[in-house]
Chains A and B, each alone.
Chain A
Amino acid sequence: MTIDPILLLEIVLTIIMIISAIIAVETKHLVAALAMLGLVSLQASVYFLILQAPDVAMTEASIGAGLSVGIFAYAFWKTGETEEKLENLEEMDKGVLIK
């Protein structure tokens, strides 16, 4: 049975893209979410090449996986947050935590 290699590449790219997008939204470590965003951009860039669009592939690879991650890292450095620590809203309503 002959499998078309381009179709196999499309299936693998789709599965990895969906899994890394779910990890990027759900995880608590912000640096891991940023790495997953770069991974999604890289997969999309390869997908653009399969769909015969080389200009868009070059632009998306250099911006999404290069400069966007850099600007995000600057923002992480300035605020000092690397984990998603959220306040507990029920305790704040009852007046336990006075801010």
Chain B
Amino acid sequence: MIIFWAYISAIGLISIGIYGLLMKRHAFKLIISLGLISTGVNLLLISIGYIIGGTAPIYPKNLNISAPMVDPLPQALVLTAIVIETAILAAALSLAILMHREYGTLDVRVIWRRLR
């Protein structure tokens, strides 16, 4: 099996984020795991569109390209994904602050028991 370092780091980040989402109980830890998963997914998307020996998709001023350009479509997709991840993070943190005000604790299992 050949080792591609880009794929290993991206999928490794996603699986560590999934482990954190399953195991942890503190609300801020869950939000940090969400951020890890988002970063891993963005890395995976861009490393699929890479060509060995390619250059960045920007034309120089005299319009001479010396090497093939990498795929510009995943980069536009990842720009949108980073913006939406920031919006999710801000809204989730506001919800966590409000939860702390209502119940006095940030432990999700304690709050679940109190709701029943």
A-to-B contact residues, CB < 8 Å: 7, 10-11, 13-14, 17-18, 21-22, 24-25, 30, 33-34, 37, 40-41, 44, 47-48, 51-56, 59-60, 63-64, 67-68, 71-72, 74-76, 78-79, 81, 84, 86-87, 89, 92
B50 and A51: CB pair below 8 A? yes
Query: Which 7 pairs from chain A and chain B are nearest by CB?
Result: A25-B20, A14-B9, A10-B5, A75-B93, A79-B100, A21-B16, A52-B56
Least CB distance from B5 to A in Å reads 4
- Supplied contacts A54-B56, A54-B58, A75-B97, 15 more A-B pairs, CB within 8 Å: A13-B5, A14-B9, A17-B12, A18-B9, A25-B29, A30-B29, A37-B35, A51-B6, A56-B78, A56-B79, A72-B89, A76-B28, A78-B97, A84-B26, A86-B107
